[in-house]
Structure 1
Amino acid sequence: MKIIQVTDLHLVTPGQILCGLDPLARLQACIADINRNHSDAELVIFTGDLSETGEKATYRALAVELLKLGPPARLMLGNHDDRNAFLDVFDGIRSEDGFVHGVEDTREGRLIMLDTLLPGRPEGRLDEARLHWLQQRLEEAMDRPVFLFAHHPPFPIHMPLLDRMGIIEADALYELLKQHGNVRHIFAGHAHRPIAGSWRGIPVSVLRGTNHQSALDFSPDRIAVTHEPPAYAVIFIDRSSVIAHFHDFLDQTASYR
């Protein structure tokens, strides 16, 4: 099974610039590259910060671009997003409890997509209602493999400023995942860095956004924006492995012989 992960679009009003770059043009290039090279993907998951401002105009622009995307898409929210504005544009996504979370059952297991948005704050939240929702989805999965997608990493990446913006209830999240016992990977965004490792025995990964990136800086009180290449992840999942390739989709230097 092939899945594409795209994260941190940070769309602004079409025609405007963010961090010296055009987020909409970057998204357009990303979608064109996915269509050109991965039209066989079963799903494209956008793991949050779809918008920089949370304005409806940014979500309307996203809706237009998604019409051009070949594979089906699932949208998640990050700390820059506005849940109400998003749901006004994508009104068919609303769940019964008002959050933007969901599941996708595949032949390789269950994909669970969390809504970790805490309005007005950079941190992620999994309050009692969302943890209860997750517990139910894990129980439904029974002993099947589970793959978790969240905008905010629940694990430390050892970049102090970014670690202070993770999921507040990380310990409670881990307890639920441990009870299920078959969570094979956690995919996250938010950090704008290519990161891979494990958290309490669970494999994890993070990737760059489609616009600006975070500098690799382990200082306790600063973080800088960079123009490192944007990327998306090409994820292969089967019974024995989870493999994620981070693809710099603007790189045109390949020379085939």
Structure 2
Amino acid sequence: MKLKKEFKIYPSKVAVFFKNKRNLKILGLGIFLAISIGIIGFLNYYNAPLVVGFIADIHAGDQKYRQEDEKNVIIPIDFEINLTKALREMGKVDLIIALGDNLNRPSRKNTKKLLKITKGYPMVWVKGNHDKLLHFNELLSKERYYYIDKKKRRIIVLDNSATYPDITGIDDHGRGFIDQEQLNWLKEKLKTDKKIIIAMHIPMFVPGNPGTIRKDYAYLEEIFVQSGNVKHIFLGHWHTYDNEIEKDGIVHHLIPSVSLEGGQELYYKIEL
């Protein structure tokens, strides 16, 4: 005589859960709350001020002493100490923008040291006239000009570190050239509803006369003003200047070198 086997199919716990209307209401409420919390969190983050730290003219190098005048004395060999201290004291920020002349002389060794010190930090690298394109593109940034959208702001990084093809009548030994391709790109990236921050190395002012726009930069000033969105420009290069100068509704921030001798502020931090 054969035994008859009986199989009973029991509903799974998941199926039982979903058959219960009360459970479905609780689940729906949970999903709604999770989505709401996520949206609120995003809006709070998006609408919060953008906190940016700035470091200028690191001049990473092995040179002990670099003097351009009595006040303008750079100590390249101390860059590791100064940069490490600046990053530590800066605290929490959304971005850290290094405003060019990251190296004192071309050096893959010192570029790698910069990367080691800044590892884990939200770095944005600007090209300066001391930064050779090979090392800059290879290790610091693949692009010499680019933009970053962060919260309600657009940060546009420009490369004005080149020398003009014809330096006749140009301030600062002919430095500060921006090629036409970059200018065309800039005009397109200025077309945004976001408030814009410009970061570049060389100031737009006549050397030694902050507040007076260089003649060769009159066109750039016009581009910025006509956009209506550019509110801040951050600059390095001059080493000793620590100024905020408003010109045509735009605030130009001149940031001193992190490697400057004499106990200057090592960094600049601002909420935007």
Deviating above 6 A after TM superposition, structure 1's stretches of 4 or more consecutive aligned residues are: none
**Which residue is equivalent to 1:200?**
248
**Which residue is equivalent to 2:178?**
126
Are positions 1:26 and 2:82 aligned together?
yes
**Which residue is equivalent to 1:10?**
59
**Which residue is equivalent to 1:240?**
none
2 CA distance for matches of 1:25 and 1:168? 39
The answer to whether the 8 A contact 1:127-1:169 is kept is no
2 CA distance for matches of 1:62 and 1:209? 15
Shift of 1:31: 2.0
Shift of 1:163: 9.7
Residues 122, 73 of structure 1: alpha-carbon distance in 2 compared, 3 angstrom cutoff: farther
Residues 168, 48 of structure 1: alpha-carbon distance in 2 compared, 3 angstrom cutoff: farther
**Which residue is equivalent to 2:15?**
none
**Which residue is equivalent to 1:77?**
127
The answer to whether the 8 A contact 1:124-1:167 is kept is no
Equivalent residue in structure 1 for 2:194, among 144, 159, 165: 144
What amino acid maps onto 2:183 in structure 1? L
2 CA distance for matches of 1:167 and 1:152? 11
Larger radius of gyration: 2
* Consecutive unaligned residues in structure 1, runs of 5 or more: 213-225, 238-257
User: TM-score normalized by structure 1?
Assistant: 0.72
Equivalent residue in structure 1 for 2:259, among 211, 217, 220: 211
**Which residue is equivalent to 1:46?**
98
The answer to whether the 8 A contact 2:211-2:247 is kept is no
The answer to whether the 8 A contact 1:79-1:122 is kept is no
Percent identity over the alignment? 23
Secondary structure class of the residue paired with 1:124? strand
The C-alpha deviation readout for 1:34-91, integer Å capped at 9, x for no partner, is: 3xxx22x111111101001122222111111111x5x41111111111111222233x
Equivalent residue in structure 1 for 2:160, among 116, 119, 129: 116
- Two-structure CA RMSD over aligned residues (Å): 2.5
Residues 228, 82 of structure 1: alpha-carbon distance in 2 compared, 3 angstrom cutoff: same
2 CA distance for matches of 1:73 and 1:89? 12
Residues 167, 134 of structure 1: alpha-carbon distance in 2 compared, 3 angstrom cutoff: farther
1 CA distance for matches of 2:116 and 2:215? 34
Are positions 1:106 and 2:157 aligned together?
no
2 CA distance for matches of 1:186 and 1:163? 13
2 CA distance for matches of 1:24 and 1:46? 14
What amino acid maps onto 2:175 in structure 1? E
2 CA distance for matches of 1:211 and 1:61? 15
Are positions 1:179 and 2:226 aligned together?
yes
Bigger helix fraction: 2
The C-alpha deviation readout for 1:143-175, integer Å capped at 9, x for no partner, is: 321111111111346x16x999x9774112112
User: TM-score normalized by structure 2?
Assistant: 0.68
* Consecutive unaligned residues in structure 2, runs of 5 or more: 1-49, 67-73, 165-172
Shift of 1:122: 6.6
The answer to whether the 8 A contact 1:12-1:24 is kept is no
Shift of 1:228: 4.2
Residues 123, 130 of structure 1: alpha-carbon distance in 2 compared, 3 angstrom cutoff: same
